[in-house]
């Protein structure tokens, strides 16, 4: 069953034949549906504390279903640990309240070349299997009159990474946000990452990596793009 375009998690016996056909046809295919992260309109009606309680309850049921003994000292606290990790850490980027505050500064020294922040550590999670994506992000911009603190570039990458993602969307979200903040079209983003849904399940290919890119403004020009790629290679 779908609500607001999202397939809801409901018992298999309640799924229509169409729902099952869509999910089975999708299989392990890698796809995404929009540049924006798919979110319900009521996504933030629950407090973080309520979400943690709810997730802990359901994760406990998952562990019970798997046959784990939740009276064991090592497992007893796992449902709540996972819930807190989801809400406060690895999926905290879903909540706009956690968006980093960004201060801009006038480009008083008139720096007109590209600024590149490379090898930004990136950790995210695949929205198809909820397993890690990890790698490096490289971002660049040419000032249109404003500059941004270097650490803020890392924080922007981190904010959009901390949600269920696909790499293409993540790349575009970082690029669009930098354009919006800096007031310039001249932005580039490259992400080079490994997907645990590829290396630990399914095809189990541990060698492959995925590279995605975002080039706008002057970075669409071959000379500028080549200069950026030389810096990050």
Return the active site residues: 126-129, 167, 195, 197
d(CA 105, CA 203): 47
> Is the dihedral angle over the CA atoms 9, 14, 20, 22 positive or is it negative?
negative
Residue in the block written with tokens 């504390």: 49
Q: Where are the beta strands (DSSP E) in the chain?
A: 2-3, 6-7, 104-106, 114-126, 132-142, 146-148, 164-165, 187-195, 210-215
Tokens (6 digits) for 218 = 């002057």
Alpha helices in 133-212 (DSSP H): 150-161, 167-182, 196-199
H or E element, residue 89: none
């Amino acid at each position: 069953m779908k609500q607001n375009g999202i397939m809801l998690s409901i018992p298999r016996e309640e799924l229509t034949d169409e729902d099952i056909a869509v999910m089975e046809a999708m299989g392990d295919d890698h796809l995404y549906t929009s540049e924006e992260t798919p979110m319900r309109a009521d996504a933030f009606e629950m407090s973080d504390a309520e979400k943690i309680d709810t997730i802990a309850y359901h994760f406990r049921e998952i562990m019970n279903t798997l046959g784990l003994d939740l009276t064991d000292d090592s497992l007893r606290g796992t449902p709540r640990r996972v819930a807190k990790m989801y809400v406060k850490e690895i999926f905290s980027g879903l909540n706009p309240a956690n968006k980093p505050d960004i201060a801009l500064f006038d480009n008083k020294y008139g720096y007109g070349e590209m600024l590149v922040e490379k090898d930004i550590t990136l950790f995210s999670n695949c929205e198809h299997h909820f397993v890690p994506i990890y790698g490096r992000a490289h971002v660049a911009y040419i000032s249109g009159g404003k500059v941004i603190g270097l650490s803020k570039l890392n924080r922007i990458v981190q904010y959009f990474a901390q949600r269920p993602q696909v790499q293409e969307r993540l790349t575009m979200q970082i690029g669009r946000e930098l354009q919006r903040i800096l007031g310039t079209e001249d932005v580039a983003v490259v992400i080079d990452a490994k997907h645990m849904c590829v290396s630990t399940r399914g095809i189990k290919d541990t060698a492959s990596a995925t590279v995605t890119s975002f080039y706008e403004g002057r970075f669409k020009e071959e000379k500028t793009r080549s200069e950026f790629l030389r810096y990050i290679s």
